[in-house]
Amino acid sequence: MPNKMRAAQIMEYEKPYELHERAIPQCGDHDLLIQVYAAGFCHSDLQVWNGQFPAASLPMIPSHEPAGKIAQIGANVQGSWKVGDRVGVLNYKNACGGCAGCRQHSRRSKRPDPRFCQRRIVAGFRHDGAFAEYMLADPNTTVHLPDGVSFEQGAPLMCAGATVWGALRKLSPQVQPGDAVAVVGIGGLGQLGVQFSKALGYRTIAMDNRDEGRQLALDLPDHLKPDLVMDSTTEDADQKISEFTSGEGLAGIVVCTDSIQANAWCLQQLGNGGVMVPLGLPKDKWQFDSEVMVFHELTIKGSYVASAEEVESMLKVVAKHGISSHLTVLGFSEIPSLIGRYLHASMKGRLVINIKGEDLVAVGDAESVLESIGVTNGIPANESQDYHQLLAAVHDVAEHILQLPDYTARTDTEKYPRENIRRPSADEQDFGNAWAHKFLIRGNSQGSLLQGKTLCLKDNVAVAGVPQFFGTDAIPAWTPNDDATVVRRALDAGADVVGTTICENFCNSTSSFTSAQGTVYNPYARGYSAGGSTSGGSAVVGGGLVDIAIGADQGGSIRVPSSFCGCVGLKPTHGLVPYTGISSGDAINDHAGPIARSVSDVALCLDAISGKDDYDDRTLGAPIHGSTQYAKSLRNSVAGLKIGVLKEGFEHRLVNEEVKSTVRKAIQSFERLGATVEEVSLPLHLEGPAIWTIQQRIAGTFNMLGYAHGRRGLFSTAYETARQPWTNESFQKLFPSTKNTIINGLSLMQNYPGLYAKTMNLAQQLRDSYEMLFEDYDLIVMPTTPFVAPPNIDWKRGEDAPMDALKPSMGITINTAIFDVTGHPAMSLPVGFSPSTVDSEVRLPVGMQLVGGLWQEQKILNAAFAWESANDWKKIGIPKDQESRLSTKL
């Protein structure tokens, strides 16, 4: 290591920075020596430069936003630090441990927090900072910089990012995901604040009276773009906020300007119990309306940057969501001109000095990439430099793409405004925790197909402005900017959308206790499974609270919960219903479809949402949207219909005898109605679960890890960035079924070359075999599930065995999953009740699965409609003395 370093210094206040050579600071026993790669400049640096924050002594090295690598580690430094670690450094350091501030903090936390130490060192304010090649850092206020965050992007996060992140976190617990939050003043600080607010799941307003400030907000990627961008000085500003919040006022405001008038106005925009965090430091005193504060029980909170722990959590969010600043990057030699540029040039976003002058890609990175797939010594020494340059070039292209505006299908929120988006209170929940978010979007008053119908959506279906959980807490909730195609079509057809309903963990379970947002109960028996993964939707439809749910099915996730909850659930032919805007499991298995209490409502919804979507290449073979007439073509007759009873669908050892009996009795009704019914055999059907398992494990893993999948379409960058990269912390929060998918998939890819290809060949063989059956038969029928809803279990992560979590759902999809791989349309129709396998006094719905040839939904709908018209399924399998006890509302 050299003895000297380059450094920029303040020699006199209000005079240009000067470049000098300084001795590299000595690394003490409790210090980290940081080689600075990038350092930021912000408004407070200007205040230091003009003497508003006097330095301990001059000359002094300015800047308090450094990012770089550890060069040396003091002998007594604790922790897992290593030389070469990529880090960011907060500007406060060296808590004394004895002053009143330190004593007070030590009672709340074990980790020292120099922010409140009365003797703290403040780098870049009173003591030497980051405009130098090396600086000393306190391990307690040094944070790891994620690999996906460049030094240039990381530097501003150490002050600007930490400041606005700390302010937003202080809005909780009063402010929750889905609440309306405003960020006021969209400069370098506010631009980060808007992105953080979106990442935290808030409905976000960006306010600025400057055109360039509002443009900064509009230039953000779509998944981080605010829900509303406005000028707070216009005459209709109050009205816009009132409309955005349904008259309730804002839940929280972070003010990134020191304008006394702006802060006073912001306080007036809060709703009851609202929270405001002002970040500006005006020379004069604040002027707030005490009457508004008292009568609306408002809170004004101070916020001083953020703790190291809070910054570490911020950096995880930055990495997952791809949060970034608009940067102007200057070289070290340009530091003397920095103040003039800042004062007189029109600069957008943050100003950063590239201290080290090194690219994102380091020498040896190409070799490291190959080692990750088991290729060692893959690049000869004489070729290494060329591949380094090529890798650096493609990184430059990637950075360029990330800076471009995203392209999405624009949602007309003026035509279809979102009202009162909220997480439901305990009093608003139904069937345990069936609702993810409640809100109201009123459908087209001129719509006909779904006029007067209420509709809910599985919590993987995008609704602009509504945070999405996807059944997990392993990744933060993200807020889509656009409606899924099925949502737009349902609204156009007149449906009122009333909320999103719980789905199971990453849509990866047919139980109803795996969601991080809570357990869902069966509407016919509390404590029993509602099925999954469309658990919440099936429960509220089966329980009579909503007319129709739109679900998604990759292995049975529409049909299984429909069977358990006494609903009619249709998985259409692959591609008939667009998947644009729905979080994917795998493009081969992705199916979206309706769940309702009647066949006619299923047909109406299918008419409304089906048809080709130019954004989704799954739909290339689908009819033109609006051209189908499934509902109008319903026929109350099966005369002439030929139905095959699939022998293998009944023969599996898991199929319960009571379920077999109930379904066979239901099939007899088809004969009485005039259909020809014959037993058919397809032994390959029994291989369906194995084929689906291998296909789903490998393809599902590729999807979970964010690998390319070869499909054209519009994708949710908000979702993709939310779940990447995977960390130990996020993986540990996954439910065992999701962990198992990833473990299985990685192992299969490593150990069985050619397995996926052969599996897909066998899937094609099975698809062709079913199609041959449909040359002779209009439909085939079998039980939807092998048994009725099992009891939910109270499984606790970290306490109970993973196998215990998986047992309740084992075998449920033996008759459903394979039709996701082959793409055939399949419906679950309720045909009666059967005793619970654990309590004969409890009667639960039984579903019969009707499967048709590709694009033959009309045959399925007609047969189901005829059966439904001739039978009251709720009176089948219920002892006479128990009929009056049957209730679908807990």
The residues carrying an active-site annotation are 458, 533, 557
* Alpha-helical runs (H) found in 733-787: 736-751, 755-776
From the list 434, 548, 447, the residue with the least C-alpha distance to 492 is: 447
**Taking a C-beta distance cutoff of 8 angstroms, is the pair 117, 95 a contact?**
yes
Secondary structure class of 322 (helix, strand, coil): coil
> How far apart are alpha carbons 164 and 192 in whole angstroms?
7
From the list 712, 702, 705, 741, the residue with the least C-alpha distance to 726 is: 705
167's tokens: 């302010």
**Taking a C-beta distance cutoff of 8 angstroms, is the pair 166, 312 a contact?**
no
Residue 333 CB partners (closer than 8 Å, separation 6+): 19
662's tokens: 């109930």
**Taking a C-beta distance cutoff of 8 angstroms, is the pair 436, 469 a contact?**
yes
Angle at 193 between CA 187 and CA 198, to 5 degrees: 130
Which residue(s) pair with 593 in the sheet? 551
Say what the alpha-carbon torsion angle 856, 860, 863, 865 is, to the nearest 10 degrees. -120
Place of tokens 């789905």: 503
Which residue(s) pair with 884 in the sheet? none
Place of tokens 């290729």: 375
489's tokens: 């079509």
Q: What 8-state DSSP symbol labels residue 791?
A: B
Place of tokens 């979080």: 583
Size (the chain), residues = 890
**Taking a C-beta distance cutoff of 8 angstroms, is the pair 860, 570 a contact?**
yes
In terms of C-beta density within 10 A (0-12 exposed, 13-18 middle, 19 or more buried), how is residue 753 classed?
exposed
**Which amino acid appears at position 146 of this protein?**
P
Q: Which whole-number Å values give the CA distances from 650 to 654, 664, 681, 685, 770, in the listed order?
A: 9, 9, 11, 11, 17
Q: What 8-state DSSP symbol labels residue 327?
A: E
**Taking a C-beta distance cutoff of 8 angstroms, is the pair 490, 455 a contact?**
yes
From the list 423, 347, 349, 402, the residue with the least C-alpha distance to 224 is: 402
**Taking a C-beta distance cutoff of 8 angstroms, is the pair 68, 151 a contact?**
yes
Other beta carbons within 10 Å of 331: 10
Q: Give counts: helices (H), strands (E), the chain.
A: 27, 31
> Buried b vs exposed e over 856-873: b needs ≥16 C-beta within 10 Å?
bbbbbbbbbbbbbeebeb
SS (H, E, C) 820-848: HHHCCCEEEEEEEEEECCCCCCCEEEEEE
> How far apart are alpha carbons 764 and 705 in whole angstroms?
26
